[in-house]
């Protein structure tokens, strides 16, 4: 097995992307696994590591896995509640890549927006109600509603295309 797709997903968005990436990799050369506290260091040479965004970076379970990696070729992918700009995604990818131990090589990174739980909208609604002129609350609400349909079919197709591109890079 050459590739492992390992992902951390609390509410399913990143899992959807991970499945799309897995399906795009060469048949019989990849495996898919959800990361947990006891995930062992993978033996595959190329790792697609998927994460949900937790306060601007990958979550602790993924960081724990990172600590076990050395000499790997790594492709990062993720989902984030805010998705307004590529620069925002790039900053998350950069902060996440910086957590990988030296000696691992990052081949590329890709992210898309992912829906958030209804409780988050309720919090934004309370913000807006408390301060009706608050443009921040209004933009949070607009972003929440925009995120609701993501990852969508276009996101999943883009994730698959990205995976194929990364595999082609590896296969040389």
Ligand X SMILES: Cc1cc2nc3c(=O)[nH]c(=O)nc-3n(C[C@H](O)[C@H](O)[C@H](O)COP(=O)(O)O)c2cc1C
| Residues in touch with ligand X (CB under 6 A) | 9-15, 52-56, 79-82, 114, 116
Distance CA(141)–CA(82), nearest Å, equals: 11
What DSSP character marks residue 131?
-
- The nearest distance, CB 114 to ligand X, in angstroms, is 2
Q: Smaller CB distance to ligand X: residue 52 or 66?
A: 52
Which class for 78: exposed (0-12), middle (13-18), buried (19 or more C-beta within 10 A)?
buried
Distance CA(131)–CA(97), nearest Å, equals: 38
Q: Smaller CB distance to ligand X: residue 56 or 101?
A: 56
- The nearest distance, CB 104 to ligand X, in angstroms, is 23
Q: Smaller CB distance to ligand X: residue 84 or 101?
A: 84
Distance CA(104)–CA(100), nearest Å, equals: 7
- The nearest distance, CB 71 to ligand X, in angstroms, is 28
């Amino acid at each position: 097995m050459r590739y492992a797709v390992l992902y951390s997903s609390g509410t399913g968005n990143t899992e959807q992307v991970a499945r799309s990436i897995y399906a795009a990799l060469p048949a019989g050369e990849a495996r898919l696994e959800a990361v947990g506290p006891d995930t062992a260091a993978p033996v595959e040479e190329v790792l697609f590591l998927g994460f949900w965004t937790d306060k601007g970076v990958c979550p602790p379970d993924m960081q724990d896995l990172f600590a076990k990696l050395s000499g790997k070729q790594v492709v990062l992918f993720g989902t984030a509640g805010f998705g307004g700009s590529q620069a925002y995604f790039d900053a998350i990818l950069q902060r996440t890549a910086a957590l990988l131990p030296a000696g691992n090589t990052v081949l590329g990174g890709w992210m898309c927006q992912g829906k958030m739980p209804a409780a988050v909208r309720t919090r934004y609604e309370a913000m807006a109600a408390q301060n009706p002129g608050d443009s921040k609350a209004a933009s949070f609400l607009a972003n929440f509603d925009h995120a609701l349909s993501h990852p969508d079919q276009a996101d999943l197709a883009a994730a698959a295309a990205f995976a194929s591109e990364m595999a082609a890079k590896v296969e040389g």
